Amino acid sequence: SDDQALPWFYGLWRYLESGLATAAERDRITAKLVEVAEVFLARGWAVPAEPPFGSRGHFGKFEFDSAPRLLFVCRLIHRLTDDAAWETRYREALAERGGKENRSRLEICERGMVFHYAPRHCWTSCTCVSALRSLWEMETEADVKAAFARGLQASADLALTGLPLAEQF
């Protein structure tokens, strides 16, 4: 599902970034990341799943639980491969608009974490905040990086409101 796919990409990227991977592991992991990203892309960003589901979630929606995921995968694959097509996909996806509010993915990221089911139960979006943090780390354009930073701050502010709820558990 989409909430499991992002940690897979993220964890493998962090492993590669750690310097612990051997050259053979790096090549193998990079090839698998590219292979899976290309499957997602070919499916219009729908996350493949076993039958009878067919797909479980979608990276291409215009909401916080999707936008950072799609952007992160595009940015990650470009960073690993230097394939200009992935940079183009990333930049186009940043500006692409949609959803109920007709926001761009950059605007969605800048607004930060929003949980759609309950106003303070935001922990299920934590992997998307990780993707947003990673985008902030990898971004080279100052204005985009600043928008990501604002989204990170807004996400932290929302998460802070959930601490009293967490104490109940």
The answer, yes or no, to whether residue 169 has pLDDT greater than 90, is no
pLDDT tens digits, residue range 29-50?
999 999 999 999 999 999 998 8
Q: What percentage of residues in the chain have a pLDDT greater than 70?
A: 95
pLDDT at 160: 86
Render pLDDT for 108-124 as a digit per residue (tens, 0 to 9).
999 999 876 666 666 67
Q: Which residue has the higher pLDDT, 121 or 98?
A: 98
Indicate if the pLDDT at residue 26 is higher than 80.
yes
Sign for the CA dihedral angle at 88, 86, 104, 163 comes to negative
Predicted TM-score (pTM) of the model is 0.93
pLDDT in tens, 82-92: 999 999 999 99
